[in-house]
C-alpha cells in the first residue's frame, strides 16, 4: 500500500501543475493533459510486460525497476525545456517503466494470495493509490505556489529516491523467500481453484476470453469517466473563480474518500454480495457524480460531490482484478489483470486528453464530462449483462 501511495503521486502531480506548466511554455492545455493520458496508456502497455514478468519471477524485480525509472523521470521534468522531454518522461519513465510496475503486479499478487476476504485485501493495497491523491495535490499545490513547479518535481524525485527505492528492495528480498507462482506442485485445493475457468457456477457459462473482452471494454468506459475529474477538476474549479488551494482540496477530498472506501466499504461489499455486483453499484455512483461536477459551481456543493465521487471512483478499479480472480482461475492472473488494466489505461488516456482537447475547443469542460457520463453508462450495460448471465446460469444449475 505504501509503495503504491508514493509511486502514484506522479498521476496527480501533473493535474495540480497543469495550468502553471502550460502557462510558462505557452502551451495549450492539451499538451500537459496528453502527458497525463499517455502515462496511463503506456503504463497499461508496460503492465502487460510486467504482468508476464510477475507470473514468471514474482513481484520484486518489477518494483525495483519502477522505483529507479520514476526517480529519473521526476528529475527530467524538473529540468525540461521542451514538451518532448515532458512527454518522454511521462510516456517511457513514469508510464511504461514506472507506474506499470505498480498497480497491476501488486493487485495480481494480492488477489492470488487470498482465497477468503479477497475484496478486503485488494482494497487495502489499492487504497494506496487513492491516498496518494489525498496527500499529493494539497502538498504539491502548496509547494508549487511557494517555489514553483520545477522545484516541486525535483523534490518529488528526492522523495522517490529516499522512499521508493528502499521499499522496492524490501520487495526484492521478499521475493527470494516467497514461492513464485507455479514454482512447485500445488495442493489439491489449489488445483481445484485453478479449474475455475471450467466451472459454470463461477463463469456463468461465459468463456474466459469473453470475460476478458467484456471487462476490457467496460473498464475503458469507466476510466474515461473517472479520468476527467482526476485530471481536470483542479483546473475546472479554478476556472470558475475558486483558489488553487480550494481546488486541490476538492480533489483531495475525493481521493481521501476513495481510499477510505477501498479500505472499508469496497472490501466489505465485495466479500458479501460479490465483486461484480459491487462494481455495478459503484459505477452507478460515479456516473451520476461526474455529471454533477459541471452542473454546480458553489464550493460546498463541489466538496459534497467530491465525497460521493470518491465513493464511486474508489470502489471501481480495484474490483476488476477481484472479479477476474473470483470468476476465472489463478493461472496467469498477472497477465490477465495486466491486460484488463491496460484497457483501463486506454480509458484514462482518452478521458484525460479529451478533457484538455474539448476545453481548448469550447472553453468549457461541460461537453467532456457529459461524454464521460455516457462512457460510464456503457460500462454499466456490460457489467449488468455479466450479472444477469451469472444469475440465469446459476438458477438453471440449482
Contact 3, 128 (CB under 8 A): yes
DSSP 294: T
The pLDDT assigned to 221 comes to: 94
Identify the band that residue 40 occupies on the pLDDT scale cut at 50, 70 and 90.
Answer: confident
Count up the domains in the chain and report the number: 1
Does pLDDT of 154 surpass 80? yes
Identify the pLDDT of residue 179: 46
Q: What angle, 0 to 180 degrees and rounded to 10, lies between the N-to-C axes of helices 366-397 and 275-292?
A: 160
Q: What confidence tens digit (pLDDT) does each residue in 240-267 have?
A: 999 888 888 898 899 889 888 988 888 8
Q: Is residue 187 part of a domain?
A: no
The answer to whether residue 183 sits within a structural domain is no
The pLDDT value recorded for residue 88 is 92
Which of 375, 376, 377, 369 lies closest to 292 in space, CA to CA?
369
What residues contact 33, with CB distance under 8 A and at least 6 apart?
Answer: 18, 231, 232, 352, 353, 355, 356, 357
- Show Cβ contacts of residue 342 under 8 Å, excluding neighbours closer than 6 positions: 44, 45, 47, 48, 216
CATH number at residue 295: 1.20.1250.20
Long-range contacts (CB closer than 8 Å, 24 or more residues apart) made by 74-80? 74/10, 74/153, 74/154, 74/156, 74/157, 74/160, 75/153, 75/154, 75/157, 77/153, 78/150, 78/151, 78/153, 78/154, 78/157, 79/150
Confidence category of residue 196, pLDDT binned at 50, 70, 90? low
User: Is 327 within the bounds of a domain?
Assistant: yes
Q: How far apart are the first and last CA of the chain?
A: 40
The pLDDT, as a whole number, for residue 82 is 87
Q: Is residue 139 part of a domain?
A: yes
**pLDDT classification of 342: cutoffs 50, 70, 90:** confident
Phi-psi region of 388 (alpha: psi -120 to 50; beta: other; left: phi over 0): alpha
Residue pair 379/283 in contact by the 8 Å Cβ criterion: yes
Give the residue-averaged pLDDT of 280-298: 94
- Predicted confidence (pLDDT) at residue 31 exceeds the cutoff of 90: no
Question: Which residue range(s) make up the domain with 14?
Answer: 2-173+195-397
Which segment, 68-82, 106-120, 204-218, is predicted with the most confidence on average?
68-82
Greater confidence, 209 or 302? 302
- Give just the sign of the alpha carbon dihedral 262, 266, 271, 276: negative
pLDDT at residue 188 in the model: 35
pLDDT for 145 equals: 87
Least confident piece of the model among 95-109, 139-153, 173-187: 173-187
The answer, yes or no, to whether residue 177 has pLDDT greater than 90, is no
Residue 176 CB-half CA count within 13 A: 4
Q: What is the 3-state secondary structure (H, E, C) of 34-95?
A: HHHHHHHHHHHHHHHHHHHHHHHHCCHHHHHHHHHHHHHHHHHHHCCCCHHHHHHHHHHHHH
Calpha distance 335→108 (Å, rounded): 9
pLDDT tens, position by position, 197-219: 656 767 777 788 888 999 999 99
Q: What's the mean pLDDT when you consider all of the chain?
A: 83
Quick one: average pLDDT of 169-194?
49
Q: Which of 210-214, 230-234, 339-343, 375-379 has the highest mean pLDDT?
A: 375-379
Q: What is the pLDDT of residue 199?
A: 67
**Could you tell me if residue 178 is inside a domain?**
no
CA distance 308 to 253: 10
By mean pLDDT, which of 31-45, 176-190, 222-236, 332-346 is the weakest? 176-190
In this prediction, residue 398 has a pLDDT band, given cuts at 50, 70 and 90, of low
202 found inside a domain = yes
d(CA 135, CA 392) in angstroms, rounded, equals 44
Confidence at residue 191, expressed as pLDDT on a 0 to 100 scale: 39
Greater confidence, 125 or 223?
Answer: 223
Q: How is 135-180 classified by DSSP, letter by letter?
A: HHHHHHHHHHHHH-HHHHHHHHHHHIIIIIHHHHHHHHHHHHHSPP
Mean pLDDT to the nearest integer, 31-50: 81
Mean pLDDT of 145-160: 92
Average pLDDT over residues 283-310: 94
> What value does the mean pLDDT take over residues 274-284?
94
Is 277 within the bounds of a domain?
yes
Chain centre to alpha carbon of residue 202: 26
Q: Is residue 186 a part of any domain in this protein?
A: no
Q: How far is CA 194 from the centre of its chain?
A: 27
In sign, the C-alpha dihedral spanning 289, 290, 294, 300 is positive
Amino acid at each position: 500500500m505504501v509503495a503504491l501511495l508514493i509511486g502514484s503521486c506522479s498521476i496527480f502531480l501533473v493535474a495540480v501543475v497543469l495550468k502553471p506548466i502550460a502557462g510558462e511554455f505557452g502551451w495549450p492545455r492539451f499538451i500537459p493533459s496528453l502527458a497525463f493520458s499517455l502515462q496511463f496508456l503506456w503504463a497499461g502497455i508496460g503492465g502487460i510486460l510486467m504482468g508476464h514478468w510477475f507470473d514468471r519471477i514474482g513481484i520484486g524485480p518489477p518494483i525495483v525497476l519502477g522505483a529507479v525509472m520514476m526517480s529519473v523521470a521526476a528529475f527530467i521534468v524538473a529540468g525540461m525545456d521542451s514538451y518532448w522531454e515532458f512527454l518522454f518522461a511521462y510516456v517511457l519513465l513514469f508510464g511504461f517503466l514506472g507506474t506499470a510496475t505498480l498497480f497491476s503486479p501488486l493487485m495480481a499478487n494480492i488477489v492470488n494470495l487470498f482465497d477468503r476476504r479477497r475484496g478486503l485485501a485488494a482494497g487495502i493495497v489499492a487504497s494506496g493509490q487513492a491516498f496518494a491523491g489525498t496527500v499529493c495535490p494539497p502538498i504539491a499545490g502548496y509547494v508549487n505556489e511557494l517555489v514553483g513547479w520545477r522545484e516541486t518535481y525535483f523534490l518529488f524525485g528526492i522523495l522517490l529516491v529516499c522512499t521508493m527505492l528502499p521499499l522496492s528492495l524490501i520487495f526484492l528480498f521478499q521475493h527470494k523467500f516467497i514461492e513464485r507462482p507455479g514454482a512447485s506442485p500445488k495442493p489439491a485445493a489449489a488445483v481445484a481453484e485453478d479449474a475455475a475457468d471450467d466451472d459454470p457456477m463461477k463463469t456463468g457459462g461465459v468463456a474466459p476470453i469473453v470475460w476478458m473482452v467484456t471487462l476490457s471494454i467496460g473498464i475503458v468506459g469507466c476510466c474515461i469517466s473517472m479520468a476527467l475529474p482526476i485530471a481536470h477538476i483542479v483546473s475546472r474549479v479554478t476556472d470558475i473563480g475558486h483558489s488553487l488551494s480550494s481546488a486541490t482540496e476538492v480533489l483531495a477530498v475525493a481521493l481521501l474518500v476513495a481510499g477510505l472506501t477501498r479500505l472499508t466499504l469496497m472490501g466489505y461489499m465485495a466479500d458479501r454480495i460479490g465483486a461484480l455486483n459491487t462494481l455495478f453499484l459503484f459505477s452507478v455512483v460515479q456516473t451520476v457524480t461526474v455529471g454533477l461536477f459541471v452542473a454546480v459551481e458553489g464550493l460546498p456543493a463541489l466538496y459534497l460531490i467530491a465525497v460521493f465521487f470518491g465513493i464511486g471512483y474508489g470502489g471501481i478499479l480495484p474490483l476488476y482484478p477481484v472479479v477476474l480472480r473470483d470468476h476465472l482461475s489463478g493461472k496467469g492472473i498477472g497477465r490477465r489483470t495486466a491486460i484488463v488494466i491496460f484497457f483501463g489505461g486506454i480509458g484514462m488516456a482518452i478521458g484525460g486528453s479529451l478533457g484538455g482537447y474539448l476545453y481548448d475547443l469550447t472553453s468549457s469542460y461541460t461537453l467532456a464530462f457529459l461524454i464521460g457520463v455516457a462512457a460510464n453508462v456503457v460500462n454499466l450495460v456490460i457489467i449488468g449483462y455479466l450479472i444477469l448471465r451469472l444469475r440465469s446460469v446459476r438458477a438453471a444449475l440449482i
